[in-house]
Every structure is written in structure tokens, then in C-alpha cells.
A and B are shown apart, each in its own frame.
Chain A
């Protein structure tokens, strides 16, 4: 770093502060961490993107089973390759910060869990979600019988309008009844 580190312009910083849930220190730290991922030439432009695998290699995300989904959800790349610009990175940290509202957190959680990006959590999404959470190793994996039983339970409990899928508002309703969610949906740099 050192001399090559670019500084954030002041008005830019205040804009970031106004549009995200992050404090000044957090934004500066995020900027520092982000520029470390860029190579020398890219550091000058704010719009440079970091490829997905580099973001996923951050220690905060490295072991997270949802890291690829997180990159996909927060990436604004036109080619859908999951690459992250600095502003996407701020968005990510803002949604996972302490001061973000439950609404924001549940919204992004929904999109992360919606593996096929179709706007609802259906049977396939829930199956993938449970597999992601329990891991792929044979001793923790649920058998298909258990899985269907579990997903039936989930739907019975959260699918209020009984259409076979969980939509965003149903998901948010479920989240509002899971008090542990807010404290655990959190990534700190």
C-alpha cells in the first residue's frame, strides 16, 4: 500500500455515508481493504471491479457457504459474472452491518437464498439452502425422505397463502419471528 493508496475524495465519502448504513471509519476501512484487492493500475479508478474469486478469498467470506450467492446478489456487473465494484462492496457491507434495518437484511437474505433468481423460494431453493447449511459430507447430509419431510414442515409453517412457495413477504414475516436473525446476519471487516 503506502504511497500508491488512493484516498477517497471528501464529497464522495459523505455521499457514501449518506447512502449506506456504514460509518466513516467503516467506509475508510472498506476502501483500504478493497484497494488491496486491486492491482496498481486499477487503483486510480473508483469503478474498477474485482472478480468474484478474489472477493470470495477474503477471510471474512472464505469459509462462508453462501459466498458465491452473496457475490451474485450484490454484483451490478452487466455480464452477471459476480464481480464486485467498490460501490457493490459498500452495499454488501452496509446490508450486513449492525445498523442495517431488518427490512434490508431480510430482503438480501431472501435474494441470497433464492438460488434460481426467480423471486420465490420453491422446493429446489429450500433443498439447496438446507444442503448449504448442513454441508455436503455424508454424515451430516439429510436423506431425501428427511429432506422432503423437513421442507413440508417449512412450507406448512411459512407458506401462508398455500401456493407451494415462500415469497418475499412471507419470508419477511418468518424472519420477524426469528429473533436470532438480526444478530447473526452480520459481516464485520
Chain B
């Protein structure tokens, strides 16, 4: 339908130059109106709204549709039922509009985001959107954890006996005073089931964490699939060099004069680059073997260096961790020694320092290498940073899950505190990084060494830092259910800090082309190493590790998951609910069940893959058909023109016949090729 609507005539519309007659216009409008009348109310509103014609004409179309609708309706007697239906649908429509308006008001940072988009463009805006998205995750987790775990615990046993007084250092280390609070796993106990009304803390703890992780997983997969489909599948295709992408990337929302000038310069540079990229590709293909060998050797060297650095930092961290254990015995929180408590901060500081310095070395290494396209360059930079961060987190988790449970008395709280310290120190380093990295760099760039210039806002590094912080928050969710509080505060402050730092110190980044695609990559990174890693860590803890004997809701059980077994056993005793037990026992605990599910999923995937292949084939065929039809069209037009010229030439010789003869050869059908 849309195609024809765009033919709807108005001066300047496509095909407007064909000068449709009044009758044709009327015909078109009539067809359009009769098509619209048959649509359901909501779809009709949408369709009218989406007509690419002026407001006045839309109103005209709507008026005609309405009058036609009414004349139809009058034939059928109006009943009470239709009236009632209309009233309710009107009510729901108004209600929906009201909810939508309220939601728009509730959205935080609307103006701030608009301003950032106006000054720095969509790609920088995507960083802040990502931050906001993470904030929503954390607020949700904070709410459910607080409601279902923390409040029952506080209500049922409010009197926590503190063995140590509050000294202030706890804010950094999370140990001491905080150790017995609901902030950490150790602050919860299982015996509040006896209280009235009964509340099973074990189940609440288990299901709240599980529900949150499932929610995160589903929404991550969903948004990843959507943006992957939008930004990658549609983009890939034959003969796509990306020039149009650049032309369409003009940001109409940018209002700042300087930013627009910048944008223009960048666009010119990038357009020239796309031209030279083709030449470069040719040059790279024809480069002599010795140069290629040199490049390969450089790549190899760079990768060895980067992997070596990552492995080295991991080894250092592991050594420090085990060493620290010998150095300060009994960090499990019951010590009064201030020095011992402060020394627990060494490890997080070292980790954050590595996170700060090693990426700088990586970017230096990156400058050495020679890549044909800047995009490969960016992706390789990201890959190395992710490798570093993931291996650091991996070694920390390995230590927490392999050594800690057998050496520390209340090990879940210990892990929770470690994560808390990492989160907090990372936050402090982020603050310092903005100050020294961006502010001082700006001053050096403008005052001391003008050749350096104002720093660019590095989106990739900043987003990777956010992903790292979120991974920590996910890892800590089981060991410290209220950790999202810290994460929410952290994200909130980072938003304002980055906003100020951005407007004071930075200039918009130069390469902005693939903002949407990069966003997909970030969401994918957040899903794959980050979320999946944290999920498997928590799952391993719940399914196979023995919870500590002295503290926590799961004390006395073999594994935390045993709590569910016990619950199912009690459910079985309730008459009429044996089916739940049967499902648990015979379906959920059965390997065959999961095997079957996997099999079905695999078959479905294969089937869908085949469908995609078929569609690709279809697209190729259709493309060829379009090209052929275009050729036919030009052929016919040329033919028509030459015939017209001939007849005009003939007319020029006999001017008296001119008025009587048509320009058009009446036998034109015979001049067409036979296939037609």
C-alpha cells in the first residue's frame, strides 16, 4: 500500500512531474480511502499518520474515511453493544496515551541526553544511552533484592550484634562493621522460617537471584537479537561500500555550530577514505611478499606482547592474592587491626592500575601495526582489552572458587567484600581517570603542547570500562545482594561526571561512521564474556560448592540448591500437588529432558538456517530480475525517442501535414522486439 501512497500527488512529490490528471488523482484518493476504511481502527490511525503527504491532505483523507465509515455504519442499526465497545476502546486509547505521556515524563536525563546529542552526535550519545540502560538493570535488581531478601531479613531479625564499631574505613573495604549487615551474604540467616508469618529465606534468596539473572539474560538476548538483525544482517549485501551509510549518517539533531563544522570535516575525511580504501585494498593485494611478511611478523609480535602482558598481569594478581593471604591472616572481617584491613585494598588498587595502564600500552602497540582499514584496527583494540579484563576477572574468580571456600570461615562474605572493594576502587579510578586522563590532557593539549590538541572522547575504552564494572556487579550479586546500590550510585555519578568532563575537555570523536554497529558489538560483549561468565560462576557456586557452616541462609546444606530439593519434598506432602513433585523429579532432574530440548533447538536452528539460505537465493534472483527490467525500460524509452525523432523529422519536411499527423507511430507495436 505504501508504494502507491507515495504516488499521492502534490507538487514536488516523486512522479509529480508526470502531471497526473485530476481524474487520476481522484481515482487514487478514492482507492486509498476505500482501502483505509477496511482497516481496523488502530491500524487505520497508524496508516493515515504514516501517509507521506501534507497535514492538510491527511486531514482530508481522514475526513473522507470517517464519512464513508459513518455512512456504512448507518446502514447497520447502532446497538448498545457497539456503542459500549466504542466507549471502552476510546477509554483504553486515552488511558494508553496517558500512560505513554507519563512514561515520557519519567524518563530521566532527557534534556541532558538531548544536549549531548546536539553537541557531540549520536555516537557519543550511544555511550550515555548504554550507561542509562545499565542503570535500569541495576535499579531493577536493587528493587527486587531489597524487597524480597533484605526487607524480610531486617523485619524478622533487626538486632544485629556488632562486634566492631564503625570507623569509616569500612566504606572502602566493606569489612568490619559491614560484615554482619544485610549488605553481604553472611548477614542473612535461615532460621527466620520459624517467625510469623513464615518466610523461607533460602528459597527467597535462591529464586530472587535466579529471577534477576534470568531477566538479565532474556533482555540481553532480546536486545542483542534485535540490534543484530537491524545493524548487521540488513547491512551486509553485495556491492556495499558504505558511501551511502556515510551520507545518511548526517545528524540532524546536532545544533552546535562548531560541532557541525567538525562533523562536516570528519565526513569529508571519511568520504575521501572510502575512496582511498578501495585503492589501498588493491595496493595491499599487490604488495610485495617481503612487506606482507614484515606485517605478519609485526602482528605476531604485537599479539605475543599483548597476550604476554595479560598473562603476566594475571600471574601477578594470583601471586599477590595468595601471598597476601599469608601476610595478613584472618581477613575474614573479625580482626580489629586497621592496618590489616587497609592492606586488603592493595589487591583492588593493583587490579585497577593494571586496568588503567595496560590498555595504554596496548594502544601504543596498536600504533605500531599496519592495518588496511581503520575498522579492523578498532576491533583488534577492543579484542585485546576484553582479553585483558576477562583474564583478570577469570583469575580472581578461580581463586575465589577454588581456594577461598576451603580456607576462609565465612567465604561467601569474603568474596562479597572482595567484589565490593573491586567495584569501589574501580569507581575511584574512574573518577581519577576522568580528571587526569581528560582534564590534564586537555590542559597539556591546549597550553603546553598545542600539537596534541584537545583529547577525543574515547567511546570504546569508556564502554569497556562500563562492561567491566557491570561484570563485577553480576559476579557479586549472589555474594552481596545489595551490591546494586553501589552500582546505581556509581553509574549515576559517572553519568554526570562524564557529561561535565565531555563538555569541558573533549572534542567529538573523528570516526563516527558505525555507531549503531558498534553498539551491537558492545551489547554482544556484555552478553558473551561478561554475563555468561558471571552466570556460570553463580551457577557453579549454587550447584556444586558447599556453603559455609557459620553464616548465611544456606548453612548446613550440602549445596545451596539442596534448599529447592527440600522445598519440593515438602510440596509433595501437600495433597493435590504431587504433579509438581513429579515434574521436578522426572522432568527437570532428568538428563534425557535436557537432551531432547537441545536436540529440538538444534533442529530448529538448522531449519531456520535453511530458510535464510533460501531467502538469500531468492534475493539474488529478484535482483537480477530488477536489473533486467531496468534494461528493458531503457531499451523501450530509447526506441520511443528514436521513433519520435523520426516522425518529427518527417513532419519537418511537410509542415502543412503537421497538425494532422500524430507524433506517435501508430504501428509502434511492430517495432518492438519479438520477445515482448
Binding site for B on A (CB under 8 A): 15, 17-21, 23-25, 59-60, 62-66, 73-74, 76, 80, 87-88, 90-91, 96, 101, 103-104, 107-111, 114, 117-120, 129-130, 133-135, 140-142, 146, 149-150, 153-154, 156-158, 160-163, 167-169, 174-181, 183-188
Are A177 and B14 neighbours in the complex by a CB distance under 8 Å?
no
- Give Cα A114 to B13, complex, Å: 10
Are A63 and B250 neighbours in the complex by a CB distance under 8 Å?
no
- Return chain A residues, CB-CB under 8 Å to B247: 129-130, 133, 154
Are B54 and A187 neighbours in the complex by a CB distance under 8 Å?
no
> B633: CB under 8 A from chain A?
yes
Contact A186 B253, CB 8 Å, known A19-B49, A142-B268, A179-B231: yes
Contact A19 B122, CB 8 Å, known A150-B243, A156-B239: no
> B626: CB under 8 A from chain A?
yes
- Return chain A residues, CB-CB under 8 Å to B631: 162
Are A17 and B97 neighbours in the complex by a CB distance under 8 Å?
yes
Are B248 and A187 neighbours in the complex by a CB distance under 8 Å?
no
> B101: CB under 8 A from chain A?
yes
> B653: CB under 8 A from chain A?
no
Are B13 and A119 neighbours in the complex by a CB distance under 8 Å?
yes
- Give Cα A80 to B56, complex, Å: 16
Are B55 and A161 neighbours in the complex by a CB distance under 8 Å?
no
Are B633 and A163 neighbours in the complex by a CB distance under 8 Å?
yes
Are B515 and A168 neighbours in the complex by a CB distance under 8 Å?
no
> B562: CB under 8 A from chain A?
no
Are B252 and A64 neighbours in the complex by a CB distance under 8 Å?
yes
- Return chain A residues, CB-CB under 8 Å to B230: 179
- Return chain A residues, CB-CB under 8 Å to B272: 142, 146
How many B residues touch A, CB cutoff 8 Å? 75
> B244: CB under 8 A from chain A?
yes
> B671: CB under 8 A from chain A?
no
- Give Cα A184 to B121, complex, Å: 8
Are A130 and B271 neighbours in the complex by a CB distance under 8 Å?
yes
Are A174 and B244 neighbours in the complex by a CB distance under 8 Å?
yes
Are B249 and A180 neighbours in the complex by a CB distance under 8 Å?
yes
Residue of A nearest to B245 (CB): A178
Are A134 and B268 neighbours in the complex by a CB distance under 8 Å?
yes
- Give Cα A74 to B629, complex, Å: 33
- Return chain A residues, CB-CB under 8 Å to B12: 73, 111, 117
- The answer, among A62, A104, A119, A134, for a CB contact under 8 Å with B15, is A119
> B62: CB under 8 A from chain A?
yes
The 4 closest A-B pairs by CB, nearest first: A161-B630, A179-B516, A140-B268, A134-B268
Shortest B72–chain A CB gap in Å is 20
Shortest B518–chain A CB gap in Å is 10
- Return chain A residues, CB-CB under 8 Å to B629: 161
- Return chain B residues, CB-CB under 8 Å to A176: 234
Are A140 and B265 neighbours in the complex by a CB distance under 8 Å?
yes
The number of inter-chain residue pairs (CB within 8 angstroms) is 193
Shortest B7–chain A CB gap in Å is 10
> B59: CB under 8 A from chain A?
yes
> B654: CB under 8 A from chain A?
no
- Return chain B residues, CB-CB under 8 Å to A177: 234-235, 237, 240, 244-245
What is the 8 Å Cβ interface bit string for chain B, positions 92-106, against chain A (1 contact, 0 not)?
Answer: 000001001100110
- The answer, among B6, B100, B275, for a CB contact under 8 Å with A149, is B275
- Return chain B residues, CB-CB under 8 Å to A163: 630, 633-634
Are B250 and A153 neighbours in the complex by a CB distance under 8 Å?
no
- Return chain A residues, CB-CB under 8 Å to B544: none
Are A150 and B50 neighbours in the complex by a CB distance under 8 Å?
no
Residue of B nearest to A113 (CB): B247
Residue of B nearest to A120 (CB): B14
Are B240 and A157 neighbours in the complex by a CB distance under 8 Å?
yes
Are B626 and A168 neighbours in the complex by a CB distance under 8 Å?
no
Are A167 and B243 neighbours in the complex by a CB distance under 8 Å?
no
- Give Cα A177 to B623, complex, Å: 16
Shortest A63–chain B CB gap in Å is 5
> B3: CB under 8 A from chain A?
yes
- The answer, among B59, B101, B235, for a CB contact under 8 Å with A25, is B101
- Return chain A residues, CB-CB under 8 Å to B254: 63
A-B contact pairs, 30 of them (CB 8 A): A18-B49, A19-B49, A19-B62, A24-B97, A25-B104, A63-B255, A63-B256, A66-B250, A74-B54, A87-B55, A103-B2, A119-B15, A133-B268, A134-B264, A146-B272, A150-B274, A154-B247, A157-B239, A160-B627, A161-B627, A161-B630, A161-B633, A168-B14, A178-B235, A178-B249, A179-B231, A179-B517, A180-B248, A180-B515, A184-B248
Are B100 and A23 neighbours in the complex by a CB distance under 8 Å?
yes
Are B255 and A59 neighbours in the complex by a CB distance under 8 Å?
yes
Q: Which of A87, A150, A184, A185 has the most CB of B within 10 A?
A: A184
Contact A175 B261, CB 8 Å, known A73-B12, A134-B271, A142-B271: no
Are B52 and A107 neighbours in the complex by a CB distance under 8 Å?
yes
Shortest A141–chain B CB gap in Å is 7
- The answer, among B58, B252, B626, for a CB contact under 8 Å with A96, is B252
- Give Cα A19 to B244, complex, Å: 31
- The answer, among B6, B243, B251, B267, for a CB contact under 8 Å with A168, is B6
- Give Cα A88 to B56, complex, Å: 9
- Return chain B residues, CB-CB under 8 Å to A118: 17
- Return chain B residues, CB-CB under 8 Å to A101: 50
- Return chain B residues, CB-CB under 8 Å to A146: 272, 275
Are B252 and A186 neighbours in the complex by a CB distance under 8 Å?
yes
- Return chain A residues, CB-CB under 8 Å to B52: 103-104, 107-108
Are B251 and A184 neighbours in the complex by a CB distance under 8 Å?
yes
